[in-house]
């Protein structure tokens, strides 16, 4: 009987929260991509508003960060336990990548778009750790 009761379905609250998070995340990511496209197309001007244009996509990234923080606050104690190793590894690897790029720059090497490799390495190491520890799927 117990086996019949071991369905893989999430509870209604869990499902509702996850769907809401995904919808908001996709909207925020879409806004970021649109803002980035706008910046790429029309941001390279000598206008005094250039800084505003350049920072516009960052506002949507801040929105993504807020969404993630709110989602983390919804996690229960076991999910939090699984969630934090990924953050810790992602942060450590990102810092290591940033220091490595900084060291290369100090030695005279040119590292183009240095922020992006750091972000990419951090996200990949975060996700790989999440897979290894079977962290909850957001």
Mark residues 66-105: x for contact with other proteins by CB under 8 A, - for none. ---------xxxxx-x------------------------
Tell me whether residue 28 is exposed, middle or buried, using C-beta atoms within 10 angstroms of its C-beta: 0 to 12, 13 to 18, 19 or more. Answer: buried
Does 2 participate in binding other proteins (rule CB under 8 A)? Answer: yes
Alpha carbon 54 to chain centroid distance?
20
From the CB of 135, what's the least distance to other proteins, in Å? 10
Q: Which of residues 23-52 bind other proteins (CB under 8 A)?
A: none
Nearer to other proteins, 78 or 116 (CB): 78
Q: Which residues bind other proteins (CB under 8 A)?
A: 1-2, 5-14, 75-79, 81, 136
């Amino acid at each position: 009987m117990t086996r019949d009761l071991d369905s893989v379905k999430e509870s209604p609250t869990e499902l509702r929260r996850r769907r809401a998070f995904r919808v908001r995340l996709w909207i925020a990511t879409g806004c970021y991509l649109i803002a980035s496209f706008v910046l790429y197309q029309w941001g390279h001007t000598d206008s005094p508003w250039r800084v505003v244009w350049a920072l516009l996509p960052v506002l949507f990234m801040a929105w993504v960060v807020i969404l993630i923080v709110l989602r983390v606050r919804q996690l229960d104690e076991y999910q939090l336990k699984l969630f934090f190793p990924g953050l810790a590894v992602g942060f450590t690897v990102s810092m290591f990548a940033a220091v490595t790029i900084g060291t290369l720059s100090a030695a005279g090497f040119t590292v183009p778009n240095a922020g992006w490799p750091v972000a990419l390495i951090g996200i990949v190491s975060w996700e790989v750790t999440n897979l290894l520890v079977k962290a909850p799927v957001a």
